[in-house]
Chain A
Amino acid sequence: MNLGTSTSIRRRLTMVLLLISSVVLALAMAGFLVNDWFTLRTALFERLNAQASIIGSNSVAALAFQDRASANETLNILHSEESIAAARLFDVDGEHFASYQRGKDVLPEVLPLERSGFRDGQAFVVLPIERDSNRYGSILLVSDFSDWKKRQRLNLLTAGGLLVLSLIAAVLLANWLQRLVSMPIIELARTAREITEKQDYSLRAQRFTEDEIGRLVDDFNGMLKQIQVRDQELHTIQEQLENKVESRTEQLTMLTKQLEYQAYHDPLTGLANRTTFDNHLRMSIEQVDRYGGEIAVLFLDLDRFKVINDTLGHAVGDKLLIEVAQRFSECMRASDTLARLGGDEFAVLMQHLADSAGAADVAHKLSSVIAEPFAIDDHTLHLSTSIGICVYPLDGKSPEAILKNADTAMYCSKALGGNRFSFFSSDMNVRVERRMLLENKLRDAVQNNRFEVNFQPRCDTKSKAIVGVEALVRWTDPEEGVMSPAEFIPVAEECGMIAHIDEWVLERACLEVLDWYDGKSPEIKLAVNISPVQFTRKDLHLVIESILQRTGFPGSQLELEITENLFGADKPEIHQIFEKLVELNIEIGVDDFGTAYSSLSRLKQLPLNTLKIDQSFVRDLGKDVDDEAIVRTIIDMAHNLNLKVVAEGVANELQYRFVKANNCDMVQGYLFGRPAPGGDIKSLLAQAGRVPADRTGGRS
């Protein structure tokens, strides 16, 4: 019988009830049988004893008087007792006296020592035969045990039958009774299974009884209620989670798209990035290699963007770049690729190029759109770009070479002053390398302070007396010797080092000139060149004021020279800076006047003091009537605007006489003095008695 965990509770209950009833019944039966056996046995022996006692008693006299016949007669009475198999009388000496035997000989010759017992499967008793305490002999009575055995068998059969009947009754009762226990449990299990199958926690188990199972049903239903609440909460949470997952998935998808976009686009401008540009360039080159034709790469670098970025901040720089990208994009065809390669570098890939002129047109268009002022925050920014153009397959054989050569061409444009485009040519590499070398040297010079200041006298036209000096920066490279300012100043401007150089020159010149006058206010004007890019700094006046305070140089004796192209467009911020400088009593002069296109109205609006006629006009005075007319016009115009005029580059008397004749206020040039170290100028002034003589003995 397997009553393992897989057996149904009904069957197990039935089996348990059956087992209990069977064991109890069997034990009861066995008890009864054993009891019956002992009772019958006891009764048997009691009967035997009684019979033996009677026979013995009746045989006393026979034994007493040795009357065997009488004894035999008495024993023969036992014939009517079927249960008695045999009997024997023994005399007092234990000798056989008389016997009775029903069937076979079962009697022992010798009197048994036991009073009762079984012998050869038959019960026997031995009783002494006494009278008045006098013993006459013994009687042995042997019972025919077969009847007793039959009765025992009958009892056993009866008990077995009763046991079977009881078991049948027990089966029926157990089958009926187990339902009292199992039915509520089975019903509970059925409900639990239904809940599991339907996932319906609103179902409840039916309560049939008030007992422990009934309480179990109550607890089960209570648990179900909690599960139902939890399930509902879980559903709610699941929905929220799914919504969140969906939202997160959307976010991730967007992020993926964004990352994918960022992988191929410039995050600031939204243009293609270098990776995309490289891919497009590579594919375009493959197309050209397969189908022929030409493609062009335009490498663009914004001129002096770094200065804007450094002075106005990255936020302004970024906005400017976005605007630049927007303007560039408007110039593109659908088949072109415009990319931002990094910083202020852009690149254009032009496919299906008919000829080089098409690339030039685009370069020109790009230069034009960027030339328009940019209104970023409160700033009006003027920008130009240097463009290098490289054509495949003419100027390179690989995407890398094409891009590098376009970069080289761009550097050439930049070296030529920027705001222009250049087609790549093989000799450009030399120039670019030169420029890069120069840039490195310049950084080294700034770091190691390899600059010095020279001064060129500025004289009154009429008296030829020195009325001022122009501070000029000089740079002597350990390897190349004296470097030309015309070569390194643009590089310094481009690389953002010009501010450092200008400030250093200003401070150094102020200190030297003051030194000439022993720290007293100088009588001459000190003119110092300030790069136009400096005027993008809103704090320029603060920087200059700081230098004046540090050096103690009077602002009234300082003139800042700026180039004419600073006034190209209306720049309110420049106007503000000028006003701040005027508040410091600083004068402002326009250097190299005539080389650009200054608006007269702008000149009039600004608080200018001096115009310096570019030496290119002065150089041909007396030879070129046009230049003479220009110079004469400039002088007249300046005077009309109440500006003083300086003619620079006056190298001979002819030139001097012309400007003098035309009422030029001041002259500057080799005729009056070459740029020289401060000590030399001081000597000149000392000779004229205008400054104290150098006690250490300066050059005279």
Chain B
Amino acid sequence: MTDIRRLAGWALLSASLLVTVASAVEDEQRVEQVKAAFIVNIARFVTWPEDEGLLQPGRHLLCLYRGTFFDDAMNPLQDAKLSGQRLQVIEIQRMDQSDACTILFLSNDELASFQGELPMDWQRPLLTILDRTDKVETDGLSRRGVMVSMVRDGTRIALEVDLAQTRKAGLAMSSHLLKLVRIVGAEAKP
């Protein structure tokens, strides 16, 4: 009986652990799905310049910089539409692979690498979105090359936009989006 009880106790413990682990996994997936949705939604509030020849006809290319994170979460983004154009998600390892990209998503862990690959005068109509939701504090962070940052605001994800860099890159950002975000960078309000 004792064994059985012990076994049962283990079973229960295991089950609870499994449930806990499963719950943590589900939360992680849900957050990633939200982040993926954020990426698409942010892109929907951005207008690319038409004369750059960047945009390939019929598609937007979302490039994931060196990351394999939330691959599953990105699946639903496949074939999503942006301004009537299909969204295609690819992964790149280096910036020299990003010529066709219109959106670049990178994690905070890859920020240094990213910035390290950027030349000083880097200026492309490439919407760069940084996931910094794992960091609570964002002040003092170098935002070079990062136009939109996802940051944690309590239980929710907030956005920070470096409007100066965005404009410099030739991207136009909807006022509706701007109304929700915190402007940082050169045009940040004191």
Contact = CB atoms under 8 A, between A and B. Distances in A.
A70 interface: yes
Contacts of B179: 58, 61, 70
A64 B45 contact: yes
Contacts of A57: 176
B41 A133 contact: no
A132 B176 contact: no
B82 A61 contact: no
B53 interface: no
Interface in A112-166: 131-134
B5 interface: no
Contacts of A62: 180
Given A70-B180, A131-B44, A134-B44, A65 B159 contact: yes
Interface residues of B, number: 17
A60 B83 contact: no
Range class of the A interface residue count: 10 to 19
B41 A132 contact: no
A58 B82 contact: no
B172 to A, nearest CB: 14
A66 interface: yes
Nearest to B174: A61
Contacts of B34: 66
B81 A134 contact: yes
Interface in B68-85: 81-84
A133 B84 contact: yes
A184 to B, nearest CB: 79
A67 interface: yes
A61 B156 contact: no
Given A131-B44, A132-B44, A134-B44, A65 B82 contact: no
B38 interface: yes
Given A66-B156, A131-B44, A134-B44, A61 B176 contact: yes
Given A133-B81, A133-B84, A65 B41 contact: yes
B156 to A, nearest CB: 7
A566 B109 CA distance: 202
B177 interface: yes
A60 B176 CA distance: 7
B177 A61 contact: yes
Contacts of B41: 61, 64-65
Contact of A58 (B38, B84, B176): B176
B60 to A, nearest CB: 12
Contacts of B81: 132-134
A104 to B, nearest CB: 30
Nearest to A68: B156
Contacts of B180: 61-62, 65, 67, 70
A400 B112 CA distance: 184
A67 B155 CA distance: 12
Contacts of A66: 34, 156
The residue in B38, B41, B82, B157 that gathers the most chain A C-beta atoms within 10 A of its C-beta is B41
A70 B175 CA distance: 13
A131 B180 CA distance: 16
A58 B179 CA distance: 9
The residue in A62, A66, A70 that gathers the most chain B C-beta atoms within 10 A of its C-beta is A66
Given A132-B84, A133-B81, A134-B81, A64 B156 contact: no
Interface string A40-65: 00000000000000000110111011
Interface string B147-190: 00000000011010000000000000010110110000000000
A132 B83 contact: yes
A471 B100 CA distance: 195
A65 B44 contact: no
A487 to B, nearest CB: 173
Interface in B7-49: 34, 38, 41, 44-45
Contact of A65 (B38, B83, B84): B38
B76 to A, nearest CB: 13
Given A66-B156, A67-B180, A70-B180, A61 B45 contact: yes
Nearest to A71: B180
A70 B179 CA distance: 8
Contacts of B176: 57-58, 60-61
Contacts of B174: 61
The residue in B34, B45, B83, B180 that gathers the most chain A C-beta atoms within 10 A of its C-beta is B180
A60 B180 CA distance: 11
11 contacts: A58-B176, A61-B174, A61-B177, A61-B179, A64-B44, A65-B177, A65-B180, A66-B34, A67-B180, A132-B44, A134-B81
Interface of B: 34, 38, 41, 44-45, 81-84, 156-157, 159, 174, 176-177, 179-180
Closest CB pairs A-B (n = 5): A61-B176, A64-B41, A61-B180, A67-B180, A61-B177
Given A61-B45, A64-B45, A133-B81, 20 more contacts: A58-B176, A58-B179, A61-B176, A61-B177, A61-B180, A64-B41, A64-B44, A65-B38, A65-B41, A65-B159, A66-B34, A66-B156, A67-B156, A70-B179, A70-B180, A131-B44, A132-B81, A132-B82, A132-B83, A134-B81
Interface of A: 57-58, 60-62, 64-67, 70, 131-134
